[in-house]
Amino acid sequence: KLSKRLKEIADFIPPASRLADIGSDHAYLPIYLIQQEKIDFAVAGEVAAGPLQHAQEEVTDRNLEDRIHVRLGNGLDVLEKDDAVDHVVIAGMGGLLIALILEQGLLNHKVSDGQSFVLQPNNEEVHLRRFLLENHFEITQESILSENKHFYEIIVAKYQAGQEAEAWSEEDLLFGRFVEAADPQIFKEKWQNEKRKTKNIIASLQYSKANNDKTLTDFQHKINLIEERLHDED
Ligand code: SAM
């Protein structure tokens, strides 16, 4: 059974898409979408031998080799023009790695006009959002979910060569523009949790004396932003 996280990612893939799942691991996402008869072509890319083998086994066990092409390679390098991929998923990795994969993809001409990217960073959402906005991607949708005590954000972005960088405020970059509306309750829980974690970091920095004032000020600033956003000041 597909995890709730992968299921929600799958919901962002429109019917009849030509999909690339980069860092596919067991290829669960493309297998699910094909079994649902929602899509009929996918590339599953993997950079590591172990996961690549898992993906190959899962795909051949179901006789899906014609429809899911499992390929070894770094990031978007596995894509060819003839694949005509219109939706790319990069999920379950750090936001810095996702941004790096996209940056290399842009340099290697592996990103095409009008392509959509369904991204699920495990962290560093601010960095990823900033990267997208500065590199001709428009952020069109966002979502949030929680599973096994983790909060996950999904960011959907469309690449448009001439796209002007949109100016998002510091608050927009931190909280997203569409995340709260997607699930106000989970959004609140995530940021209450972040506030608690940030307070703990401040406390341990003060305790260890390993702090510098700039770091402390940054963390305090983050707490202020969260409190303003949640309207809670305890
Ligand atoms: N995408 C799946 C998911 O969300 O459940 C699997 C996530 S798994 C934690 C991350 C996968 O990304 C690993 O299998 C890893 O080998 C792969 N990966 C990491 N860097 C990559 C890169 N530069 N190109 C392709 N795959 C990569």
98-126 mean pLDDT: 98
Task: Compute the distance from residue 21 Cα to the ligand 1 centre, in Å.
Answer: 9
ipTM (interface predicted TM): 0.99
Residues of the chain with pLDDT > 70, as a percent, come to 98
Q: pLDDT digit string (tens) for 131-157?
A: 999 999 999 999 999 999 999 999 999
| Rounded Cα distance, 39 and 24, in Å | 16
Q: pLDDT digit string (tens) for 174-211?
A: 999 999 999 999 999 999 999 999 999 988 887 776 66
Nearest residue (CA) to ligand 1, atom 12: 23
Helices in 11-75 by DSSP H: which ranges? 28-35, 49-61
66-93 mean pLDDT: 98
Task: Compute the distance from residue 226 Cα to the ligand 1 centre, in Å.
Answer: 31
pLDDT at 233: 62
Sheet with 150-159, edge to edge strand ranges: 68-72, 41-46, 18-22, 87-93, 116-121, 150-159, 137-147
Residue 116's pLDDT band, with cuts at 50, 70 and 90, is very high
Is residue 234 scored above 80 in pLDDT?
no
pLDDT at 77: 98
* Tokens read off for 30: 């493309």
164 near 155, Cβ under 8 Å?
Answer: no
Q: Verify whether ligand 1 is closer than 6 Å to residue 2 (CB atom).
A: no
- What's the DSSP call for residue 11? T
